[in-house]
């Protein structure tokens, strides 16, 4: 026979705390009373009675008893009853379960709402909760029929709580029914984590077992619910109160038997049942039981019994369960713990306080992880290791990242190699950095991302210059645009594409040609140290290569007026080729200035009267279209003299190459004087 005992079987920490409190009072001596049976287990109550502990059932009975210590059991009592007991002069030892106390505080806090209590109205815990409500402003329900019968005014505000030992699934069903009625409802799951975990574990065990044994007092509400859960999943489920109730003949034919027990069942009774079913002696089983001794600062490992949004209950093998609050689990605000931890998970934690004031062990997870994280960061600091983490917060002065719950601060000056005005773009982004300062005692752990960027750019620059040469065609991204040119990121260094190298023709404004981020292919015209001059004036695209044929003497051509002087107009025949139309060749009639009859951008048709390939000069004449050759020749000497004042540009030399980081990119920035069109 394979026998499995539920890990969550037996005393919960609230019951254990109450029972231990009574035994501690016995050691002190004096008259000891419990208001009602301390727990719903006859064996325990009988043992306490034999040790002189008297169970008091009414205030009248207590009033006539000698002064002593009255112990409030884990179920709790009403506020009125508590105040009356206090008035009798007895010393009060309150063993109310912390989970029950939480319900008392909740119904008191929300006394402006109608309180709906889910549970058995005859159970002492429910009677105690009622005593903390505001008068008669409450309703107790325990099944679907009673929930459906609730009929409150539509605008009623409702607060729902539950008996700590109630069935979790049934509670959810009742909450759903009440919610559909349209009330403004605040539902709080007040079922004890240990109860919820015990029920879940019993359900899973019953599905896998041939038979189940449920141990607990006949008056124990939570034990009855365990029995109901197990019976539904496993037909061969037996409810016993003590070892003598077990009929071994019923179990002989079963291979896998599971054992669970209610929250009021002492561990020794569970052990006795196991002893009867196995060959081991009771003494041997007690020796195998490992109850650890703990102290503040110890690291313990446990199994998660239950999880709420803001709290984790951990079984650490101690007489009390451990509690990890949200603030001691993580630095992440408002994290729902149910999304990261589930019952049955194993986890380590560090003990903050063996007794947090409510009989529980206060634990911390984040501080343990942070200590490990600090060791990790110290190793990274010593080894100059590159770390990668998600940005946890964007602060005024920099970024905060978390490595295993250990915080690292990256100042704004160390985020990038350029000034970052808006750091919000880094929110939730994964970034790489190195630790440059490590002093956890002063909580000063500094990260540096800038040096990685600088090192990477330096490596890319070195690689780029090792493979580029003058004349090579390269592709880059437009990084910056000024009035005198554009800076192109070549992947390691920037190259300057000067305005004079953007086209064989005339370019007035680079910002009209290119956009930041645009990809562009150029060739390297010159390299001076770390300065790279780029050009788009590819020689095979030089318009003068075929100009001799296209613009031979006598050819009739068309073009646009590009600019004008007093002695003539320059006509753009195509980008990179301008021709001079002398004022005397515009018309047969005398014209004072070209601007009197022409306008910039105007299309004109004229005849080529002179083509000089060596000097790259072309002269045009409109008059020659219908005039004898002699008329044109008469003005040739004048044109040659006056035309020297301004000729069509052949090719401007670029200004000295500079870095993109050396110039400010402002829309109203003035073009440097040496680059102005008038000085070319």
Give Cα separations from 509 to 132, 235, 271, 482, 522 (angstroms).
81, 89, 92, 9, 18
117 domain residue, yes or no:
yes
Whole-number pLDDT of residue 619: 94
- Residue 92 is encoded by which pair of tokens? 């009060």
Same domain, 445 and 374: yes
In this structure, the answer to whether residues 615 and 563 fall within a common structural domain is: yes
Answer yes or no: is 610 within a domain.
yes
Instruction: Give the total number of structural domains in the chain.
Output: 4
List of residues 6+ apart from 496 with CB closer than 8 A: 485, 486, 487, 488, 531, 532, 533, 534, 654, 657, 658, 660
Instruction: Please identify every stretch of the chain with a pLDDT value under 70, giving residue numbers as ranges.
Output: 279-292, 356-359, 627-680
Question: How many Cβ atoms from other residues are within 10 Å of residue 315's Cβ?
Answer: 18
Q: Is residue 651 part of a domain?
A: no
* Domain edge (last residue) among 424, 453, 482: 453
* 125 is a catalytic site residue: yes
Q: Which residues, listed in sequence order, are joined to residue 213 by a DSSP beta bridge?
A: 238, 259
Q: Is 585 in the same domain as 630? A: yes
pLDDT at residue number 358 = 65
* H-run or E-run covering 434: strand 430-439
CA distance 225 to 203: 11
Distance CA 288, CA 285 (A): 5
Residue 474 belongs to some domain of the structure: no
On the 0-12 / 13-18 / 19+ scale of CB atoms within 10 A, 220 is: buried
- Residues 341 and 420 both lie in one domain: no
Domain that holds residue 343: 299-364
- The verdict on residue 351 lying in a domain is yes
What pLDDT is recorded for position 477?
A: 93
414-469 per-position pLDDT tens digit: 998 888 888 988 998 999 999 999 987 777 899 999 999 888 888 888 889 988 89
- Do 403 and 356 fall into the same domain? no
Query: What is the per-residue pLDDT for 370?
Result: 82
How is the chain split among helix, strand and coil, in percent rounded to 5? 35, 30, 40
pLDDT at res. 292: 64
Judge contact between 215 and 258, C-beta under 8 A.
Answer: no
The distance in angstroms from the start CA to the end CA of the chain is 103
Last residue of a domain, one of 453, 469, 485: 453
**Residues 468, 465: Cα–Cα separation, whole Å:** 5
DSSP class of residue 483 equals: T
The answer to whether residue 618 is domain-embedded is yes
For position 1, what pLDDT does the model report? 73
Specify the pLDDT at position 582. Answer: 94
**HEC readout, 335-401:** CCHHHCCCCCCEEEEEEEECCCCCCCEEEECHHHHHHHHHHHHHHHHHHCCCEEEEEEEEECCEEEE
For residues 62, 66, 67, 72, the Cα torsion angle rounded to the nearest 10 degrees is: -30
Nearest Cα to Cα of residue 81 among 56, 114, 115: 56
CATH code of the domain containing 172: 3.40.1010.20
Count CA within 13 A, CB hemisphere, residue 504.
16
Shared-domain flag, residues 582 and 561: yes
76 by Cβ neighbours in 10 Å (0-12 / 13-18 / 19+) ranks as buried
Residue 133 Cα distances to 79, 166, 264, 295, angstroms: 9, 19, 27, 39
- Cα–Cα distance, 313 to 193 (Å, whole number): 7
Would 2 be classed as within a structural domain?
no
Phi-psi region of 356 (alpha: psi -120 to 50; beta: other; left: phi over 0): alpha
Burial 44-70 (b: 16+ CB within 10 A, else e): bbeebeeeebeebeeeeebeeeeebbb
The pLDDT value recorded for residue 85 is 87
Annotate 37-57 with three-state secondary structure: CCCCCHHHHHHHHHCCEEEEC
CATH number, residue 617: 2.40.50.140
CB atoms within 10 A of CB 256: 15
Residues 349 and 297 sit within 8 Å (Cβ to Cβ): no
Q: How far from the centroid of its chain's Cα atoms is residue 337's Cα?
A: 14
* Rounded distance between C-alpha atoms, residue 482 and residue 360, angstroms: 69
Alpha-carbon gap, residue 239 to 673, rounded angstroms: 101
Query: CA 628, 633, 639 angle in degrees (round to 5)?
Result: 130
Q: What pLDDT was estimated at residue 279?
A: 58
- Which residue among 125, 201, 272, 610 is the active-site one? 125
User: For 646-659, what is each residue's pLDDT tens digit?
Assistant: 444 444 344 344 44
Compute the distance between CA of residue 376 and CA of residue 382 in angstroms, rounded to an integer: 10
Boundary of a domain, candidates 316, 343, 364: 364
Do residues 353 and 401 share a domain?
A: no
Residue 112 sits in the same domain as residue 181: yes
| Same structural domain, 330 and 422 | no
Asked if residue 160 lies in contact with residue 188, where contact means CB atoms within 8 angstroms, the answer is yes
Same-domain pairing of 118 and 173: yes
Question: Do both 385 and 345 map to the same domain?
Answer: no
* pLDDT for the residue numbered 29: 87
Q: Is residue 510 part of a domain?
A: no
386 & 402 share domain? yes
- How far from chain centre, in Å, is Cα 301? 27
At 393-415, the pLDDT tens digits run 898 889 999 887 788 999 999 99
């Amino acid at each position: 026979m394979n026998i499995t005992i539920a890990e969550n079987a037996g005393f919960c920490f609230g019951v254990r705390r109450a029972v231990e409190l009574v035994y501690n009072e016995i050691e002190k001596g004096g008259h000891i009373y419990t208001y009602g049976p301390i727990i719903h287990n006859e064996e325990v109550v009988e043992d306490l009675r034999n040790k002189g502990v008297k169970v008091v059932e009414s205030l009248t009975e207590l009033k006539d008893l000698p002064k002593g210590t009255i112990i409030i059991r884990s179920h709790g009592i009403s506020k009125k009853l508590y105040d009356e007991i206090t008035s009798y002069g007895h010393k009060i030892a309150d063993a109310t379960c912390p989970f029950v106390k939480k319900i008392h505080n909740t119904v008191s806090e929300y006394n402006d709402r109608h309180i709906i209590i889910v549970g058995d109205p005859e159970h002492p815990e429910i009677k105690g909760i009622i005593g903390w409500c505001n008068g008669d402003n409450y309703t107790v329900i325990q099944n679907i029929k009673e929930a459906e019968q609730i009929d409150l005014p539509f605008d009623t505000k409702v607060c729902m709580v539950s008996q700590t030992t109630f069935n979790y699934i049934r509670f959810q069903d009742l909450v759903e029914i009440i919610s559909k009625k349209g009330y403004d409802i605040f539902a709080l799951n007040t079922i004890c984590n240990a109860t919820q975990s015990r029920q879940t574990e019993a359900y899973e065990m019953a599905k896998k077992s041939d038979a189940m044994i449920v141990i607990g007092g006949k008056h124990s509400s939570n034990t009855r619910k365990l029995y109901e859960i197990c019976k539904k999943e496993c037909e061969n489920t037996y409810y016993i109160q003590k070892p003598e109730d077990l009929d071994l003949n019923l179990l002989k034919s079963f291979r896998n038997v599971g054992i669970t027990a209610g929250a009021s069942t002492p561990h020794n009774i569970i052990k006795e049942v196991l002893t009867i079913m196995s060959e081991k002696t009771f003494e041997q089983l007690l020796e195998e039981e490992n109850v650890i001794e703990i102290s503040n600062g110890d690291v313990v490992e446990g199994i998660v019994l239950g999880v709420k949004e803001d709290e984790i209950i951990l079984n650490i093998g101690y007489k009390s369960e451990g509690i990890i609050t949200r603030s001691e689990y993580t630095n992440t605000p408002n994290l729902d713990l149910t999304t990261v931890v589930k019952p049955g998970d194993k986890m380590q934690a560090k003990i903050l306080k063996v007794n947090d004031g409510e009989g529980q062990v206060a634990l911390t997870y984040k501080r343990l992880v942070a200590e490990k994280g600090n060791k990790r960061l110290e190793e990274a600091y010593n080894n100059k290791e590159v770390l990668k983490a998600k940005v946890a917060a964007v602060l005024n002065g920099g970024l905060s990242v978390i490595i295993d719950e250990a915080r690292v601060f990256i100042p704004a000056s160390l985020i990038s190699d350029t000034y970052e005005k808006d750091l919000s773009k880094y929110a939730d982004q994964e970034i790489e950095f190195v630790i440059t300062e490590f002093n956890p005692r002063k909580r000063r752990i500094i990260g540096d991302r800038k040096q990685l960027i600088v090192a990477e750019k330096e490596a890319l620059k070195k690689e780029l210059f090792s493979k580029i040469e003058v004349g090579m065609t390269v592709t880059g991204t437009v990084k910056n645009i000024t009035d005198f040119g554009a800076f192109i990121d070549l992947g390691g260094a920037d190259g300057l594409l000067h305005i004079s190298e953007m086209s064989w023709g005339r370019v007035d404004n680079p910002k009209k040609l290119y956009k930041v981020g645009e990809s562009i292919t150029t060739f390297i015209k010159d390299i001076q140290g770390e300065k790279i001059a780029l050009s788009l004036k590819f020689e095979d695209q030089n318009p003068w290569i075929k100009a001799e044929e296209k613009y031979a003497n006598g050819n009739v051509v068309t073009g646009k007026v590009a600019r004008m002087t007093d002695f003539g107009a320059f006509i753009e025949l195509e980008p990179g080729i301008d021709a001079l139309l002398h004022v005397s060749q515009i018309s047969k009639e005398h014209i004072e200035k070209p601007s009197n009859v022409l306008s910039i951008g105007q299309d004109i048709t004229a005849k080529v009267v002179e083509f000089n390939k060596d000097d790259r000069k072309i002269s045009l004449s409109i008059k020659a279209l219908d005039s004898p050759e002699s008329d044109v020749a008469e003005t040739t000497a004048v044109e040659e003299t006056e035309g020297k004042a301004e000729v069509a540009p052949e090719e401007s030399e670029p200004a000295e190459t500079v870095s993109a980081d050396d110039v400010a990119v402002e829309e109203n920035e003035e073009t440097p004087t040496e680059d102005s069109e008038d000085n070319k």
